[in-house]
Amino acid sequence: MIVMAAGATPAQVQEVVRRAQQLGLTPEVSHGRERTVVGLVGHETEPDLEKLSTLEGVERVVRVLHDHPLVSREFHPDDRVIRFGPGLELGGPSVLLMAGPCAVEGRGQLEAAAGAISELGVRVLRGGAFKPRTSPYSFQGLGEPGLLLLREVADRFHMAVITEVLAPEDVPLVAEHADILQIGARNMQNYRLLQACGEVDRPILLKRGLAATVDELLQAAEYVLAGGNQRVALCERGLRGFEPSVRFSLDITSIPVLKRLTSLPVVVDPSHAAGRAQYVPAIGLAAVAAGADGLLVEVHPDPSSALSDGAQSLDPTAFAAMVAQVVKVAAAVGRVAA
């Protein structure tokens, strides 16, 4: 990392970027409150670093010794705020609520879900058009027609869209219609997909794998940032454990750990962690209290008829009660639920 002096000019920063590119390095600029830092990705040599250290405006050159320099707080000390959609933010003082059905099943189902959650002030609609399922015989989603319907319904209710992308070749299509692209737990280490998401101008929500360590999650995020996309958020959704009373064991400790190691926003998916609707509110409240920047909640107008994950989906009444509690917990820790 190249740490610029406090009084470094934009021209001096651009000269560092230009010289780094000449050396075959990929520079990423981060503007902090007191310093500008230029992160370098590539195979730098000591002579390369010596040349860069002599440029005007450079205060010092620091070698980063871990495997995820771009996601680290050394590169970007301040908390990142991801701006997207119609004036929305993920990160900062607000706790962003994102909700909707696990899968887009049809117009009536999606409109009912979007209408119910939008009345509660939720401005991000989730829904799966392409569904990765454990069984090949389970509902796989509607594909492109479901994606188009998701966009249409979200626009009708003045909402942003978050949806999952499964394959590198689908990234341009999904990015055309969604405001946030989600990389699911099963694809956390799909490196071609991560690289493809690094090349699009859309925020990425990266879910932690079913048995992934925090370090592996951060290295996966590094792939996206190294591709040039700096708008990445991390999502904790539970790890595979031995306890059968819940679907996964939510690693609540990962929230403060991630907030210490990285400046990326941290989201929690209490629905997949719980696997059972009655536990979702409590897990979501715990996540907000622990410092989560957002919640991703499955809401279905009639969970008993859902084609995917009905057991863990809240109905609109239960979700309304959860939102009321989230508002109180967020206020108690000095934040605002949005």
The arithmetic mean of pLDDT across residues 170-177, rounded, is 96
Q: Which residue has the tokens 């934009």?
A: 10
Domain segments of the chain as ranges: 2-61, 82-337
Using CA atoms, how far apart are residues 51 and 223, in angstroms rounded to an integer?
Answer: 27
Residue 230 makes CB contacts below 8 A (sequence gap 6+) with: 28, 80
Q: What is the pLDDT of residues 199-236, one digit of tens each?
A: 999 999 999 999 999 999 999 999 999 898 999 999 99
Beta strands in 103-146 (DSSP E): 124-126
Q: State the Cα–Cα distance between residues 27 and 226, nearest whole angstrom.
A: 9
- What pLDDT digit, counting tens, does each position of 56-81 carry? 999 988 877 667 888 988 888 889 99
pTM assigned to the model: 0.84
Q: Give the three-state DSSP class for 222.
A: helix
3-state secondary structure of 72: strand
Q: How buried is residue 336: exposed, middle or buried, by Cβ count under 10 Å (0-12/13-18/19+)?
A: exposed
Burial of 243 (0-12, 13-18, 19+ CB in 10 A): exposed
CA 129 to chain centre: 18
CA distance 198 to 125: 23
> What is the architecture, at CATH level 2, of domain 82-337?
Alpha-Beta Barrel (3.20)
Please state, in angstroms and as integers, the Cα–Cα distance from residue 69 to each residue in 12, 27, 90, 112, 113, following that order.
Answer: 22, 12, 22, 44, 40
User: What mean pLDDT comes out for the span 186-190?
Assistant: 97
Dihedral sign of CA atoms 269, 275, 276, 282 in order: negative
> Is 2-61 in CATH node 3.30.70.1140?
yes
Tokens 């108690």 label which residue?
A: 332
Does residue 262 register a pLDDT over 80?
yes
Closest to 148 (Cα-Cα) out of 130, 133, 136, 131: 130
pLDDT at 77: 86
Partnered with residue 29 across adjacent β-strands are 38
Helix/strand/coil percentages in the chain, nearest 5: 40, 20, 40
Q: What is the pLDDT of residue 98?
A: 98
Query: At 26, is the pLDDT very low, low, confident or very high (cuts 50, 70, 90)?
Result: confident
Residue percentage of the chain with pLDDT more than 70: 99
SS3 assignment, position 153? helix
Nearest to 109 by CA among 98, 118, 100: 100
- Per-residue pLDDT of 98-128, as tens digits, reads 999 999 999 999 999 999 999 999 999 999 9
What is the distance between the alpha carbons of residues 195 and 115, in angstroms, rounded to a whole number? 35
What is the tens place of the pLDDT at every residue in 3-23? 889 889 999 999 999 999 988
The conformation of residue 136, written as its DSSP 8-state character, comes to: T
255-270 b/e (C-beta count within 10 Å ≥ 16 → b): beebbebbbbbbbbbb
Question: Other CB atoms closer than 10 Å to residue 230's CB: what's the count?
Answer: 19
Q: How many residues does the chain have?
A: 338
